[in-house]
Structure formats: structure tokens, C-alpha cells
Amino acid sequence: MIEWGLYNYWVVIFLMMTGLYVVIARGNFIKKIIGLNIFQVSVIMFYVSMGKVRGGTAPIEAPGFEVYSNPLPHVLMLTAIVVGVATTALALALVVRINEAYGTIEEDEIRQIEADEDAS
């Protein structure tokens, strides 16, 4: 039988590295924010996987069920999702303002504009 025990965690690591790579490698701010979101989601998946108990059901007390999953990590992730949404909203608002101020959301073009400003 194939051992699926750590499958979730491999997905988590893959997503995490993908997210970080996108943040670092892309110059477009929207793409950076997408990378940031992927990165955050990987941690959310990590917590959700951690709360799962093998053979356990959803943590709602009912007759006939003995084993329940741990609800705490799941609840924590509700907060983390809210934080993620707030961060994304703020980041997007900043990107809108940057686009108004510079006329571009490409990091290297903005850097060029700022370098020209400094030179003059």
C-alpha cells in the first residue's frame, strides 16, 4: 500500500516554495501579491492538515462517533484567513495608488523612474 501520510505536507512545502519564488522573482506588484497569497495559503493548509486526526470526524458531538479531529488549528486559521484578506486588500489599495502616482506597477520601471529623479 502506498503511504500517503506526509502527502499533505509535501503539497504545503511545494506551495510555500512556489509562493516565495513568485514574490522574489516577479517584478509586477499584482503578481507579487498573488505569490504572497499562495505562501499564506500553504501555511493555512499546514494547520488544517495538522488538526486532522486519522479516522476522526468533524468535531461535532454525536452518538456513534468516538474520534474527532482537533478543531483548534482550524479555528486559528479563520483568524489567519481574515489577516490574509486584510493584507491583500491593503496591498491592492497601495497598488492602485502606486499606479496613479507612477503610471506603472512594474518594480523595475518604478526603480528606473526613481533613479532618474535622483539623477536630475
Partner 1 sequence: MDGLWALIRDDLPALQIAVPLLAATLCILVRRPMAAWTVAMVVAWGSFLNAGILLHRVVTTGTISYAEGGWPVPWGIELRIDLLNAFVLLVVTGICAIVLLAAPRSIEAEIPREKHYLFYAAYLLCMTGLAGMTITGDVFNIFVFLEISSLSSYALISQGRTRRALTSAIQYLIMGTIGGTFILLGIGMLYMVTGTLNIVDLANQLALVGPNRTVLVAAACIGVGVGIKLAVFPLHIWLPNAYTYAPAVVTAFIAATATKVAYYVLVRFAFSVFRINLTFDGTHSNAVLMTLGIAAMFAGSLVAIYQDDIKRMLAYSSVAQIGYMVLGLSFANEYGLTGGLVHVFNHAVTKCGLFLVLACVVLRMGSTRLSAFAGLGRRMPLTFAAFVLGGLSLIGVPMTVGFVSKWYLVLGALDAGLWPVAVLILTSSILALIYIWRVVEVGYFKEPPDGADEITEAPLSMLVPTWILIGSTLVFGVWTSLSAGVASAAARMLIGGGS
Does position 45 interact with partner 1 (CB under 8 A)? The reply is no
DSSP code of residue 27: -
Nearest distance from C-beta of residue 84 to partner 1, angstroms: 9
Q: CB–CB of 87/36 below 8 Å?
A: yes
Does position 30 interact with partner 1 (CB under 8 A)? The reply is no
What does the alpha-carbon distance between residue 4 and residue 48 come to, in Å, rounded to a whole number?
A: 16
What does the alpha-carbon distance between residue 57 and residue 76 come to, in Å, rounded to a whole number?
A: 18
Assigned C-alpha cell, 106: 512594474
Does position 59 interact with partner 1 (CB under 8 A)? The reply is no
Does position 14 interact with partner 1 (CB under 8 A)? The reply is no
Residues interacting with partner 1, by CB under 8 A? 20, 23, 29, 32, 36, 39-40, 43, 46-47, 50, 72-73, 76, 79-80, 83, 86-87, 90-91, 94-95, 97-98, 101-102, 110, 114
